[in-house]
Amino acid sequence: MTATRVAYLAAVFPRATDTWIQRELAALREAGVEIETFAIRRPDTEHIVGAEQQAELDKVTYILEAAKSPALAVSHAKLFIRSPRRYVDALRLAWSTKRAGVKGSLYQIFYFAEAGLLAEELRSRKIQHLHNHFGDSGCTVSMLASELSGVPFSFTLHGPGIFFEANTWRLDAKISKAAFVACISYFCRSQAAIFAEPDDVDKLHIIHCGVSTQALTPVSHDGVGTEVIFVARLAELKGVSDLLRAVNTLVDAHPQLHLTIVGDGPERQRFEKLSKKLGLQKHVTFTGYLSQTEVADRLKRSHTLVLPSYAEGVPVSLMEALASQVPVIATQVGGVSELVEDGTNGFIVRPGDVGQLADRLDQLLSSGRLRQSMGEAGRARTIAEFNNTYESRRLKLLFENTIKGLPTPMRPELEG
């Protein structure tokens, strides 16, 4: 039986912040899918934090680097000669989906140029399907490359950012042109359905991001907890200031309390200044980006993970913590409640409510028995619903059924 040949495109890849994509690729390859990876540009060196990123880096074809050679003009010439009508239709699609203004038009020209290179690569490598993560610029290139090449494309919707700019990035057109859309949660699917035509809603399928549960060591809890961990990009929408203020209210009652903040971003310096202003230098450590192995090691030493975001999809960091049998505290936003069941495997709090956040954190730190029961429930939930191996097989099934022209249920069903 011939293996399914799929191309993956990302705007920037690989990065320290998209480890779930790297796991997804590894699981698909293990399941027998032949995958070629493409990205528009290389990541900054700060994102290559472990062997996982380095291994993927060596496999990626970078479109912008290829565009500096005669391959750009040659690719477009071949596409036009091969099918003038398809080429003109793709130009029309590019013009009709561009962002507003001169800048939007200029960027669309770049996207179309990049799409021509990608389209010719898809053809020469005999790719059967093109997949993209996120719905912004990379997805525009994927849509146009699909139109130019005739290779069907799909994309994974994460949110929440794309839904704030759905009209800017013409999410409606992308859903219409896509063979299918993988939504990471039911909440994500509901938001995508707002922008889809009625006949396109059936294209929206549920494929969770997943974690390698077998690679994460279950933590055992007993007594008073001291180690709190936060893993995310350092931005205000992740609720970092709220977390620091909540910790500040607890250090008198929990003098050994220590918060490890894993991640980086343009607002890191501001949060470090706030930590110092609150007098938390002895209680807070900023690590920057860490590799998957290093994050797993930190989780083994943690008593709870806190992610008090203002907006989210379904954060992978919560899955990693729960798979490590570490209870979590998160906010009632996006698809979080599809993973975290309040009072069972963690706590869900109101966004921005520092008092409630501090109260729930105090409860978890004070009771080893509570942390243990929540941790066990969290690991069981993650294994059942957010296992990378199973979710990748669901995605593989979507690829195969699309190529064969077969229907797939909203939540693809696995045999056995």
Within-domain flag for 112: yes
Torsion angle defined by CA atoms of residues 252, 258, 261 and 266, in that order, rounded to the nearest 10 degrees: 40
Q: What is the mean pLDDT of residues 40-63?
A: 82
Answer yes or no: is pLDDT of 67 > 80: yes
Residue 40 contacts residue 141 (beta carbons within 8 Å): yes
Q: Say what angle helices 268-277 and 240-250 make with each other, to 10 degrees.
A: 20
- The reported pLDDT for the residue numbered 1 is 56
Residues 205 and 222 grouped into a single domain: no
Within-domain flag for 348: yes
Residues 170 and 249 grouped into a single domain: no
Range of 257's domain?
214-385
- The reported pLDDT for the residue numbered 416 is 63
Residues 198 and 224 grouped into a single domain: no
Q: Which residues contact 102 (CB under 8 A, 6 or more apart)?
A: none
Output 391 or 291, whichever has higher pLDDT: 391
Residues 203 and 232 grouped into a single domain: no
Residues 256 and 224 grouped into a single domain: yes
Residues 29 and 115 grouped into a single domain: yes
Residues 233 and 204 grouped into a single domain: no
Provide the edge-to-edge strand list for the sheet that holds 284-288: 284-288, 258-262, 227-231, 304-307, 328-331, 346-349
pTM of structure: 0.91
Structural domains counted in the chain:
2
Q: What is the mean pLDDT of residues 109-134?
A: 97
**Exposed, middle or buried by CB within 10 Å (0-12, 13-18, 19+), for 393?**
buried
Residue 130 contacts residue 148 (beta carbons within 8 Å): no
Residue 50 contacts residue 412 (beta carbons within 8 Å): no
Residues 190 and 243 grouped into a single domain: no
The Cα 175–Cα 170 span in angstroms is: 9
- Which residue, 304, 318, 297, is CA-closest to 228? 304
Q: What is the mean pLDDT of residues 383-389?
A: 94
Residues 122 and 88 grouped into a single domain: yes
Within-domain flag for 69: yes
Within-domain flag for 371: yes
Within-domain flag for 94: yes
- The reported pLDDT for the residue numbered 51 is 72
Cα 179 off chain centre by: 20
The Cα 333–Cα 237 span in angstroms is: 11
Residues 22 and 121 grouped into a single domain: yes
Within-domain flag for 151: yes
Q: What is the pLDDT of residues 178-217, one digit of tens each?
A: 999 999 999 999 999 999 999 999 999 999 999 998 889 9
Q: Which CATH number covers residue 340?
A: 3.40.50.2000
Within-domain flag for 414: no
Output 213 or 122, whichever has higher pLDDT: 122
Q: If you compute the radius of gyration of the chain from its CA atoms, what whole number of angstroms results?
A: 22
Residues 184 and 230 grouped into a single domain: no
- The reported pLDDT for the residue numbered 58 is 83
Residues 70 and 151 grouped into a single domain: yes
Answer yes or no: is pLDDT of 333 > 90: yes
